[in-house]
Chain A
Amino acid sequence: MYRYDEFDHDFVQARVAEFSDQVARRLAGEITEDQFRPLRLMNGVYLQLHAYMLRIAVPYGTLNSKQLRMLGHIARKYDKGYGHFTTRQNIQFNWPALSDIPAILADLASVEMHAIQTSGNCIRNVTADHFAGAAADEVADPRPYAEILRQWSSVHPEFSFLPRKFKIAVTGAERDRAAIQTHDIGLHLKKNAAGELGFAVYVGGGQGRTPMIAKKIRDFLPEADLLSYCTAILRVYNLYGRRDNKYKARIKILVHETGVEEITRQVEAEWQELKDADLKLPEADIRAIDAYFAPPALTDRPEGDEAVKLARLDSKSFSEWLDQNVVTHRHPDYAAVTISLKGIGEAPGDASDSQMEAIADLAEKYAFDELRVSHEQNLILPHVARADLKAVYDALVDIGLATANSNLITDIISCPGLDYCALATARSIPVAQEISLRFASLDRQREIGELKLKISGCINACGHHHVGHIGILGVEKKGAELYQVTLGGSADENTSVGEIIGRGFSSAEITDAIEQIVETYLGLRLDRNEKFIDAYRRVGPAPFKEALYAGEAKAA
């Protein structure tokens, strides 16, 4: 895992000192809120409904146990005993006092963490496949490139005041688990015919009020050109991106309005000026960063097969968890484990202080001290010997985190919604909880199969509803919450934006409507192997509309 060098340490410490001084001056009344707001946002401090909110960066979702333990400590000491993991692979605390934030940032700096660029019109936390370095299907670990992008983009003088925020994601596998096509820049790390590493480059994806799927503007960019090419994209965006209208300021609008051919031409022209200059990445520098992400020394543990087989026979619940939450590792004796933060009826993505500490202990004991935050709001132990899976499972049972629902209908992405968020127009968490309780039966969930349900409490789409197989968008209509349903969205290598199925549903109706949609799917799928998204793509919205609204038409 990446370790701060002297420069990183100095940089983060200097920022803590600078922001601590700004907070002190604000509390003393020496600077106004208008002056302070942009400064606090640059350091991840928002003001929400009940209190301030602090968003802490977890670069490409990678944590070690010491860091997770520190997050647990912060939750207990400065907050209300829990934190919320987000779709940007970050964590948010919902209740910190402004006056405590300097102390929190100092604690974070002591474990090489910070909250820099978790807000503002800059390049945000770069995200990556949460199974990076472990997945059997990746060509190379995408995180070294995410780290190179992090170093390049941190307080980048040219790109700190962009027209709007800017998000980059990197995947190293054909199977896209990082949702790269919903990002401002999506990078797909791959090898060319000569076996050299490079990237397919996608630009102009995004969600929010105007969802757009990113366009591929280059099929293969040599790895050495990563920064010069990204700089070219950012320059074109910085120059031509709209600053007159906040809602049209993202690069997706520029790409859409300019056209992909013309944008590609502009980027390539800009790149010609840059590609052979000082942004070209020296091979030695790339390999030096690579070395930080060298996989742990995975010794052979062939006893795992027999251990897993026996434990399966012994425990049905372990067996189900294994089927659902454990995925193949590139080393046959190991596996990657998803720790579901989607307990039945719980708030998606929340973990308590003691849970964080217990998970940190597990990572230390069984997973080479490595953890990941997934954009689906779960935690991952990327390298666990199969021989240790039962021990990990038992420990997760003890802390209430052994829910075997990864990729099932209760593995819901949800934004905080109106229960916390100042921008929200409707609640998200209670809707997620009610749906989770309705589909609590694991047998039923497994019968339904893979189904990605995503909920946002406003049009900004933090809950990724546009790319949910089933998406729910909460809005306010005539003073009441109303939930619009979209179907057919997807955020993988076949990204699609869901279609609104019809009139919205009240909070009392929404769970029934979701159940109706699921039952309709079960009734029309070809067989158990046809997933919800595949069935929807085959039959389209008509059967679902019929099921949801036919009664109304007849009544009218």
Chain B
Amino acid sequence: MKVLTANRLADGEAVWYANGGWAETIDHADVAHDKGAEDRLEAIGATAYANNEVVDVNLIDVTVANGVVEPVRLREKIRAAGPTNRNDLGKQARPEAARAA
């Protein structure tokens, strides 16, 4: 399973493709379950890159448990949450993330 991620051009914010747009958290990212869906996400990423909305576009491996999208690699877990030594920074510091936890 994969989701599409990138960094927003103007401010570098890590974003994930969700519901037709770029979300600042991974929670509701569109999950590709097969090669066809991956190709569609890849095409969306290429278009967004070409349109100068985002940079560093990647498809990343995820798992989904109880509806929660979780990256497989530690690198992507840290991107999705924030620095592990600073819980007050990054997505993990946001009120909505705290509520979800």
Where the two chains meet, the residues of A that have a C-beta atom closer than 8 Å to any C-beta of B are 26-27, 29, 32-33, 47-52, 80, 95-99, 347, 418-420, 422, 424, 427, 429-430, 433, 476, 479-481
Minimal beta-carbon separation of B89 from chain A (angstroms): 6
Minimal beta-carbon separation of B53 from chain A (angstroms): 9
**Is the CB–CB distance between A49 and B79 below 8 Å?**
yes
Chain B 42-80 near chain A by CB (<8 Å), digits 1 or 0: 000000010110011000000000000000111100110
From 1 to 57 in chain B, residues with beta carbon under 8 angstroms from any chain A beta carbon are: 7, 9-14, 49, 51-52, 55-56
**Is the CB–CB distance between A49 and B85 below 8 Å?**
no
- The 7 tightest CB contacts between A and B, nearest first, are A97-B11, A51-B12, A419-B83, A52-B12, A29-B52, A429-B85, A49-B79
**Is the CB–CB distance between A47 and B11 below 8 Å?**
no
Minimal beta-carbon separation of A349 from chain B (angstroms): 12
Which of A50, A427, A430, A479 contacts B12 (CB under 8 A)? Answer: A50
Which of A33, A50, A422 contacts B83 (CB under 8 A)? Answer: A50
B contacts with A: majority SS: loop
**Is the CB–CB distance between B84 and A49 below 8 Å?**
no
Docked Cα-Cα span, A476 to B12, in Å, equals 25
**Is the CB–CB distance between A99 and B10 below 8 Å?**
yes
> Taking A29-B52, A47-B55, A80-B89 as contacts, is the C-beta distance between A420 and B12 under 8 angstroms?
no
**Is the CB–CB distance between B78 and A419 below 8 Å?**
yes
Minimal beta-carbon separation of A40 from chain B (angstroms): 10
Enumerate chain B residues within 8 angstroms of A49, measured Cβ to Cβ: 14, 75, 78-79
Enumerate chain B residues within 8 angstroms of A424, measured Cβ to Cβ: 75
**Is the CB–CB distance between B12 and A47 below 8 Å?**
yes
Q: List 14 A-B contacts (CB under 8 A).
A: A27-B9, A29-B51, A32-B52, A33-B49, A33-B55, A50-B79, A51-B13, A52-B11, A98-B11, A99-B10, A347-B86, A418-B74, A419-B83, A422-B56
Minimal beta-carbon separation of B81 from chain A (angstroms): 10
Interface contacts beyond A51-B14, A95-B89: sample of 7 additional A-B pairs, CB < 8 Å, sorted by A = A26-B9, A27-B10, A32-B52, A33-B9, A47-B55, A419-B86, A429-B85
Where the two chains meet, the residues of B that have a C-beta atom closer than 8 Å to any C-beta of A are 7, 9-14, 49, 51-52, 55-56, 72-75, 78-79, 82-86, 89-90
Minimal beta-carbon separation of B33 from chain A (angstroms): 21
**Is the CB–CB distance between B84 and A427 below 8 Å?**
yes
**Is the CB–CB distance between A50 and B10 below 8 Å?**
no
Enumerate chain B residues within 8 angstroms of A47, measured Cβ to Cβ: 7, 12, 55-56
**Is the CB–CB distance between B75 and A347 below 8 Å?**
no
- The winner among B13, B72, B89 for most chain A CB atoms within 10 A is B89
**Is the CB–CB distance between B72 and A479 below 8 Å?**
yes
**Is the CB–CB distance between B11 and A420 below 8 Å?**
no
Enumerate chain A residues within 8 angstroms of B84, measured Cβ to Cβ: 419, 427, 429-430
Cβ-closest chain B residue relative to A37: B55
Docked Cα-Cα span, A481 to B82, in Å, equals 17
Enumerate chain B residues within 8 angstroms of A430, measured Cβ to Cβ: 84-85
Which of A27, A80, A347 contacts B85 (CB under 8 A)? Answer: A347
- The winner among A27, A418, A476, A480 for most chain B CB atoms within 10 A is A418
Docked Cα-Cα span, A433 to B9, in Å, equals 33
Enumerate chain A residues within 8 angstroms of B7, measured Cβ to Cβ: 47, 51
Docked Cα-Cα span, A241 to B35, in Å, equals 43
Docked Cα-Cα span, A137 to B74, in Å, equals 47
Docked Cα-Cα span, A195 to B56, in Å, equals 56
Docked Cα-Cα span, A47 to B13, in Å, equals 10
Minimal beta-carbon separation of B12 from chain A (angstroms): 4
Docked Cα-Cα span, A139 to B12, in Å, equals 47
Minimal beta-carbon separation of A22 from chain B (angstroms): 13
Docked Cα-Cα span, A430 to B79, in Å, equals 16
Cβ-closest chain A residue relative to B7: A47
Minimal beta-carbon separation of B2 from chain A (angstroms): 16
Docked Cα-Cα span, A50 to B83, in Å, equals 9
Enumerate chain A residues within 8 angstroms of B86, measured Cβ to Cβ: 347, 419
Enumerate chain B residues within 8 angstroms of A32, measured Cβ to Cβ: 52
> Taking A47-B7, A47-B56 as contacts, is the C-beta distance between A429 and B13 under 8 angstroms?
no
Docked Cα-Cα span, A380 to B92, in Å, equals 34
Which of B9, B49, B73, B79 contacts A479 (CB under 8 A)? Answer: B73
Minimal beta-carbon separation of A506 from chain B (angstroms): 13
**Is the CB–CB distance between B90 and A50 below 8 Å?**
yes
Docked Cα-Cα span, A49 to B49, in Å, equals 17
Docked Cα-Cα span, A47 to B8, in Å, equals 10
Docked Cα-Cα span, A98 to B12, in Å, equals 7
Minimal beta-carbon separation of A198 from chain B (angstroms): 45
Enumerate chain A residues within 8 angstroms of B51, measured Cβ to Cβ: 29
**Is the CB–CB distance between A419 and B85 below 8 Å?**
yes
Docked Cα-Cα span, A347 to B89, in Å, equals 14
Docked Cα-Cα span, A27 to B55, in Å, equals 12
Cβ-closest chain A residue relative to B83: A419
**Is the CB–CB distance between A50 and B14 below 8 Å?**
yes
Cβ-closest chain A residue relative to B11: A97
Minimal beta-carbon separation of B98 from chain A (angstroms): 17
> Taking A29-B52, A80-B89 as contacts, is the C-beta distance between A420 and B83 under 8 angstroms?
yes
